[in-house]
Amino acid sequence: MASTFFGLTIAYSGLQAANTSLNVSGHNISNINTDGYTKQQAEKTAADAIRTYNTYGTLGGGVTVTQIKQLRDSYYDVKYRNNMANYGQFSVKQNYMSQIEDYLNEVNLKGYTAEYNNFFAAVNQLTLTPGDASAKNQLINNAKSMADYFNTLNNNLRNVQADANNEIKDAVQQINALAKNIAALNRQINQIEANAGNANDLRDKRNAMVDELSSIVNIDVTEIELGNNLTDYQVRVNGQTLVTSYGYNTLEVVAREDKRNASDAAGLYDIQWASGQVFDIYSDSLGGELKGLIDIRDGNNGTIEQLSGRKDLGGNEILETVAKNNENTYYKGVPYFQAQLNEYIQIFSDAVNQIMTGMSYNGDTGKYDKVNDTYTSDGLKKGIPLFSVHTEGMPMSANNITVNSELLENPELLAIKTSKSTGEADAQVMEQLVKLQTATIFDGGTSGYFLESIVSDMSIDAQKANNLHANYNNLKTSIHNQRLSIMGVDTDEEAMDLVKFQQAYNLNSKMMSVMNQIYDKLINQTGV
């Protein structure tokens, strides 16, 4: 049978429930601009009814707040994080490809095209005035300027590679820091929720960290119920465990002892698990900013640039690209463009040097045969190569090409003619050089065609990075808005809730006031 004062208990439960709901709404409103905050809601249920032993059976016991829960849909979390992995990857690629585009666009603007034209303008001038010392000096200086241009272009690309390498190290450090913090939050959340509470704000903090992690590397998350309100929260990176419950694994970077590609910057980092487990940086399923950085830094279209074992006319090692299936990324990053420039330099410098020395490469024997002698204008000395290398023993490349130091010191050593007995008007060597301008020695095309194809590859990939970055950015906005439609705090909804819970509080207060009058009449005025 209900107590005489049972109505007061019911009113009090209503007051408590309304007050709790008002506090939750206040918490929502105060965090309306907090990034990653999830709207909370007080869940209420009717209190257990009591038996009255009357004809009407039982009597309701008021209201009970069962929990304060978050309004969040894990489906949108998964969609958001999957998209963030793609967004992070192409955000990095857009940034770095725009830098590469700026450098290589110089080929068509005031860079290579100008240097190339200047070089052959000087060659043409020498066909007219082969004995002119100033014209010889101009040709040598223009050749040096062209070599310097490629040196600078290669250094710029190498700097891009080094920047990407440093960002890889930073990304690994971020992953480790986030893993440590997520594991710590797992412990705190379980400690709170084991005592029948919801650690909503800590869960928001953890979700924000997981969101941040998803842009760095692709992840998947599972939360396994263990009983007694305890869960095992697991985070995997590309299918490998990063966080499990209160423990976490860490990644580490290790500087390479040997270069993968001959033109790579020194000390590029490989990534491995601190436990010794393999971390495949070239996995097709890898994503996020880390994937983008690795593609930019190591991408050589599925090949590796290495020494071929052959030598050019100057005795310098020749580089070649070799297919390495599953050992490199198929993206066209810095190493790809370096290898293409190196191939151009090797072909062009060797072709010029063959003409300057009267040699010809024999494809059947793999050796250079003497075709004719070349001589200086006065016929006293034989011709020497125009192009050389900065560092002996290193391959001829965009980074290593320079002009023969003997010619820089004495332009009169420049080969001009093919017969020592002819006069200074003989310019057969220069005439052969002129033909080189339109020769199809670069994979069946001219030098201009070859470099245009490099720029075209770059432009296509840069545009693709821009388009995909824009697409994934739009998706990010769309999915984020979908998440906010559920988890976001809406000012209008909260304003309505405040009024609703205020009215509930006032009504329950009114009931207590009514019950007070009834008890006063019953206790103090009965029998008076």
Please report the DSSP string for 249-271 in residue order.
--EEEEE-SS-SSTTPPTTPEEE
Residues 290 and 217: beta-carbon distance below 8 Å: yes
CA distance 298 to 282: 9
Q: Find tokens 């070859």 and name the residue.
A: 450
Please list the ranges in the chain whose pLDDT falls under 50.
none
Q: Which helix (H) or strand (E) holds 210?
A: helix 200-216
Please provide residue 429's backbone torsions phi and psi, each rounded to the nearest 5 degrees.
-65, -45
Q: What is the pLDDT of residue 324?
A: 81
Strands (E), 184-250: 219-227, 230-237, 240-244, 247-248
CA distance 281 to 329: 9
CA distance 123 to 433: 7
Q: Find tokens 């009058």 and name the residue.
A: 517
Q: Which residues contact 502 (CB under 8 A, 6 or more apart)?
A: 18, 22
CA-wise closest residue to 404 among 414, 417, 416: 414
Q: Find tokens 């110089």 and name the residue.
A: 106
Q: pLDDT tens digits, residue range 492-526?
A: 999 999 999 999 999 999 998 988 888 888 788 77
CA distance 232 to 245: 5
Residues 346 and 375: beta-carbon distance below 8 Å: no
Strands 57-59 and 317-323: unpaired
CA distance 150 to 148: 5
Residue 439 tokens read as: 């020769």
Q: What is the pLDDT of residue 109?
A: 56
Q: What is the pLDDT of residue 244?
A: 94
| Coil/strand/helix, residue 473 | helix
Q: What is the pLDDT of residue 528?
A: 57
CA distance 282 to 452: 29
Residues 13 and 62: beta-carbon distance below 8 Å: yes
CA distance 187 to 522: 55
Strands 387-389 and 401-403: antiparallel
CA distance 442 to 353: 16
R_g over Cα of the chain = 38
Please report the DSSP string for 404-460 in residue order.
-HHHHH-GGGS--BS-TTS-TT--HHHHHHHHHTT---BTTB-HHHHHHHHHHHHHH
Residues 489 and 28: beta-carbon distance below 8 Å: yes
Q: What is the pLDDT of residue 183?
A: 97
